[in-house]
Amino acid sequence: MSLSRRKTTFGFAAGAATLAIALAGCGSSSEPESSDSAAAGGSMDEPVTLTLATFNQFGYSADSEGGADYAYDLIAEYEELHPNVTIVYNVADTSNTARENFFTKLGPGGLADVEAIEVDWLPEAMTYSDLLADLTNADLDGNWLDWKVDAATDADGRLIGYGTDIGPEAICYNVDLFEEAGLPTDPDEVAALFDGDWDTFFSVGQDYYDATGNAFYEENAAILQGMIGQLDAPYEDPETDEIIALDNADVKATYDTLTAASEAGLSSGLQQWGDDWAAGMANGDYAVTLCPAWFLGIIEGNAPDGNWDIANVFPNGGGNWGGSYLTVPANGENVEAATEFAAWLTAPEQQAKAFENVGAFPSSPEAAESDAVQSYVREYYNDAPAGQIFTERAAAVAVSPYKGAHYFEVNDAMVNALRRVDEGTMSADESWSQFEADVQAIG
Amino acid sequence: MTTTQPQTEAPTPPEPPRGRAPLTWRQRLGRWDVKLSPYLYISPFWIVFALVGLFPIVYTAVISFQDWDLVRNTGTFTGFDNFAFVLQDREFWLSLRNTFSIFLLSSVPQIIVATFIAAMLDKNIRAKTFWRMGVLLPYVVAPVAVALIFSNMFGDKYGLINSLLNDIGIDSIRWHVDVIPSHVAIATMVNFRWTGYNALILLAAMQAIPRDLYEAAAIDGAGTMRRFFSVTLPQIRPTMIFVIITSTIGGLQIFDEPRMYDTNGRGGSNHQWETITLYLYNMGWGEFNFGRAAAVAWILFLIIVAFGLLNFAITRRFIAGETAAQPKKPKQVTK
């Protein structure tokens, strides 16, 4: 009964989406010669309608993304450069909506000419890489960081997505709490304090706990993200795609380290994104968080009166959390024109503009070197040079972990295992046994 | 077509009725009209139902026997493997437990309170329409908005309810950790939304009760309570059964509230409040295992059918019991 309303809204949304696609389809099919001439490699002057689908805010056009004032409108710019191209731009409200839409239509068709995907579901998309156009283009070499390209390249060497933004991670800390605990407060000194591996991180946490008796970081699952992101093949064998999470000593070691830290009181146990977690950020329930570039706005939103700063450091060097790609479904009508459009949107100049629009940190090293990024400071974080910090953090990312088809199921089971220990519903050993059972049930 | 009906039927009475004269074309048309029209008029529902109801149900059954790839729309036949897996999965049984627990915690108090509210609204109170519309207000609020408000109230650390409890010296309740508190919290959201709705349906039934029954009871010396239990309740039984059946179906499909209960939407780290529809959703969209998800959907379907039959049996007994008990009403009713 409670579902009925949901179904209706779903129906409306689906209907509207279908209509939009039908209209888009009409637009392009009314010029039947366009695809022919494109296929023949003829002039690109034939009128063509391209559809672009993203989610949240990619920083392309304020009109469609419902954003505040953007400095640039990339959609209008492209239409100006290519008078024959008309762009229909659809923006889904959440990544999850976009994900369901993407996988529902990937096989039968009906997706936009250019579809954005998030790294969270990139592994699933990679298992269907044959349904996405190969975007490999030697001319574009060097447009993106190597690990960004590697993650979207399948076993056959086909590149299925052009990188948009990335989420290089630093450590954000609460200056007031650090001061109370007698720890250094200057960003450079804090960076020096954390310089090292995860053991260093946890030992600083232990010092903080000893001095204050309070939790050091938000929750184990949040730290897990950073630790697992530095393993080459945490949960699956890159050769066979078999789940190896239970045999991987590194995974068990990570689990043991985290649960030990939790038992020592370092984890506040407030689950990321929850109301308590957000309130805890303002109330000083934890002193540090691993923060990717896009996380800055979240801290500002949750703790508007807080005193947080960014330390240009990350355990073991670098880590990435989040980011997106633009893909071109292979069964689209305008694959060639769409590929050109996607390449243009993700070119260094446009990435720099998207950064200026919404702060999407560029995956292009060249864009990161631009003035817009390099001169970028964040007032809230005591005028921290955020642009420079995250450029360095991005360069420090060394590993792009292998993520197979079951990556997120296994990771989810691991997150649950850690949370059970944080909550105290199970001991570390019991929770690990449950994790083993959960992983064995996957497949 | 219907407009012709009176015309064709009008001439028939003067003719000798038992003559069995061959019918004229218009008469035949009229007869078909009478026989077929009702079916034609309800056919849109059945056509739409066949497309969006029956076909998906059958298609889901086909998928449930396969290892299904949603994207490629292909599958390999695996027999009853999916069903076997689901029935052996600890998560499935936990979610079944949660579903029934949340269902009982929501439906039972909900119907009792709704009956009480309806009885109060049935009294002679001032500004009737205002109060009646008032109880429907929570129903108008979108479930997602309800979940947002309640998740704020039921926060483990900074929730409104826990702060109040702490103020009067009671320890915080771990709403998102312990099983029963999480069910109570979710049931509260469901009740908030549906109690007023059910109260209005019951109120409609109560208004249809002839007032002279109450007068007669009053003359016989029955007090307010006695009149409620001996007149009101027996008279609204059919409606009560309708309300019970709809809230059973709704209760077994609770999805929005548990999904919105935390930001993860997966039903808790130890599946504390994962309901069966949430399990189904996670199986499909979380794990991309649509074969198993289809199997869950069918198991859920069968559970609801079984429950529906149970309800039906009870309904029949209730109604039969009512008519049979007509002469010696008071005894039967007080149970």
Alpha-carbon gap, residue B111 to B284, rounded angstroms: 33
Domain A168-321+388-440: give its CATH architecture.
Answer: 3-Layer(aba) Sandwich (3.40)
Q: Which pairing describes strands B74-77 and A288-292: parallel, antiparallel, or unpaired? A: unpaired
Q: What is the pLDDT of residues A5-53, one digit of tens each?
A: 333 333 344 444 444 433 333 333 333 333 343 443 444 578 999 999 9
**Which residue of chain A comes nearest to B141, CA vs CA?**
A5
Closest CA to A220 of A400, A398, A411, A397: A411
Alpha-carbon gap, residue B155 to B263, rounded angstroms: 12
Q: How many CB atoms lie within 10 A of CB A341?
A: 23
Closest CA to A363 of A381, A384, A348, A373: A348
Query: Is B262 an 8 Å CB contact of chain A?
Result: yes
Alpha-carbon gap, residue A287 to A215, rounded angstroms: 8
Q: What is the pLDDT of residues A311-353, one digit of tens each?
A: 999 999 899 999 999 999 999 999 999 999 999 999 999 999 9
Q: Which residues from A are below 8 Å from B78, CB to CB?
A: none
Alpha-carbon gap, residue B29 to A277, rounded angstroms: 72
Alpha-carbon gap, residue A322 to A358, rounded angstroms: 15
Q: Which residues from B are below 8 Å from A409, CB to CB?
A: 286-287
Query: Is B264 an 8 Å CB contact of chain A?
Result: yes
Alpha-carbon gap, residue A417 to A430, rounded angstroms: 9
- Which of B52, B158, B192, B274 best probes binding to A when mutated, by most A CB atoms within 10 angstroms? B158
Closest CA to B123 of B231, B15, B8, B224: B224
Amino acid A14: pLDDT: 41
**Which residue of chain B comes nearest to A130, CA vs CA?**
B72
Q: What are the beta bridge partners of residue A49? A: A86
Q: Determine, for residues B143 and A6 on separate chains, whether the beta-carbon distance falls below 8 Å.
A: yes
Q: Which residues from B are below 8 Å from A413, CB to CB?
A: none
CA-based nearest distance B211→chain A, Å = 33
Residue boundaries of the structural domains of chain A: 3-166+323-374, 168-321+388-440
Side chain identity at B74, as an amino acid letter? T
- Does the pLDDT value for residue A381 go beyond 70? yes
Domains A3-166+323-374 and A168-321+388-440 agree in fold: yes
Side chain identity at B291, as an amino acid letter? G
Helical (H) or strand (E) element with A27:
helix A3-29
Q: Determine, for residues B250 and A2 on separate chains, whether the beta-carbon distance falls below 8 Å.
A: yes
A-B CB pairs within 8 A amount to 101
Q: Determine, for residues A3 and B277 on separate chains, whether the beta-carbon distance falls below 8 Å.
A: yes
Amino acid B61: pLDDT: 94
Q: Which residues from A are below 8 Å from B194, CB to CB?
A: 1-2
Q: Determine, for residues A1 and B194 on separate chains, whether the beta-carbon distance falls below 8 Å.
A: yes
CA-based nearest distance B263→chain A, Å = 6
CA-based nearest distance B259→chain A, Å = 12
Q: Which residues from B are below 8 Å from A441, CB to CB?
A: 85, 89, 91
Range list of H helices, A220-347: 220-228, 249-263, 275-283, 296-302, 335-345
- Does the pLDDT value for residue A284 go beyond 80? yes
Q: How many CB atoms lie within 10 A of CB B66?
A: 19
Amino acid B208: pLDDT: 93
Contact A435, A414 (CB under 8 A): yes
Alpha-carbon gap, residue A63 to A71, rounded angstroms: 12
- Which of B269, B274, B283, B304 best probes binding to A when mutated, by most A CB atoms within 10 angstroms? B269
Q: How many CB atoms lie within 10 A of CB A128?
A: 20
Q: Nearest by CB to A274, which of B89, B262, B277?
A: B262
Token output for B260:
């919105």
Q: Which residues from B are below 8 Å from A405, CB to CB?
A: 288
DSSP state of A401: -
Query: Is B270 an 8 Å CB contact of chain A?
Result: yes
Query: Is B274 an 8 Å CB contact of chain A?
Result: no
Amino acid A3: pLDDT: 37
Q: Nearest by CB to B143, which of A5, A103, A405?
A: A5
With H, G, I as helix, E, B as strand and everything else as coil, classify residue B101.
helix
CA-based nearest distance A196→chain B, Å = 32
Phi–psi pair at A314, nearest 5 degrees: -150, 135
Query: Is B321 an 8 Å CB contact of chain A?
Result: no
Query: Is B188 an 8 Å CB contact of chain A?
Result: no
Contacts of A297 (CB under 8 A, 6+ apart): A359
For chain B, list residues with pLDDT below 50: 1-13, 15, 323-335
Contact A152, A159 (CB under 8 A): yes
**Which residue of chain A comes nearest to B289, CA vs CA?**
A443
The length of chain B, given as a count of residues: 335
CATH of B83-334, one of 1.10.3720.10, 3.40.140.10, 1.20.1530.20, 3.40.50.2300: 1.10.3720.10
Amino acid A429: pLDDT: 96
Q: What is the pLDDT of residues A63-84, one digit of tens each?
A: 888 767 788 999 999 999 999 9
Alpha-carbon gap, residue A23 to A26, rounded angstroms: 5
CA A280, chain centre distance (Å)? 24
Contact A55, A97 (CB under 8 A): yes
Alpha-carbon gap, residue B11 to A185, rounded angstroms: 101
Q: Which residues from A are below 8 Å from B152, CB to CB?
A: 275
Q: B267 vs A277, A405, B33, CA distance in Å?
A: 18, 22, 54
- Which of B85, B157, B260 best probes binding to A when mutated, by most A CB atoms within 10 angstroms? B157
Amino acid A96: pLDDT: 85
Q: Nearest by CB to A2, which of B85, B256, B286?
A: B256
Strands (DSSP E) along A33-139, which ranges? 48-55, 85-92, 114-118
Would you tell me which residues 117-136 of chain B have a C-beta closer than 8 angstroms to some C-beta of chain A? none
CA-based nearest distance A158→chain B, Å = 19
Q: How many CB atoms lie within 10 A of CB B7?
A: 10
CA A276, chain centre distance (Å)? 23
pLDDT grade for A408, boundaries at 50, 70 and 90 = confident
- Which residue is listed with tokens 């029963």? B180
Q: Nearest by CB to A128, which of B71, B249, B250?
A: B71
Amino acid B1: pLDDT: 42
Which residues of A fall below an 8 Å CB-CB distance to B?
1-3, 5-6, 99-100, 103-104, 106-108, 124, 128, 131, 270-276, 279-280, 283, 285, 405, 408-409, 412, 415-417, 419-420, 423-426, 434, 437, 441-442
The length of chain A, given as a count of residues: 443
Query: Is B173 an 8 Å CB contact of chain A?
Result: no
ipTM of the predicted structure? Answer: 0.81
Q: Which residues from A are below 8 Å from B247, CB to CB?
A: 1
Q: How many CB atoms lie within 10 A of CB A207?
A: 15
CA angle, corner A366, sides to A360 and A371, nearest 5?
Answer: 70
Contact A250, A302 (CB under 8 A): no
pLDDT grade for A199, boundaries at 50, 70 and 90 = very high
Q: What's the maximum distance between 2 C-alpha atoms anywhere in chain A?
A: 73
Query: Is B215 an 8 Å CB contact of chain A?
Result: no
Q: Nearest by CB to A420, which of B156, B249, B270?
A: B270
Mean pLDDT (chain A, rounded): 87
Alpha-carbon gap, residue A30 to A23, rounded angstroms: 11
Contact B303, B244 (CB under 8 A): no
- Which residue is listed with tokens 């697992």? A228
CATH node for A3-166+323-374 = 3.40.190.10
Residue boundaries of the structural domains of chain B: 4-64, 83-334
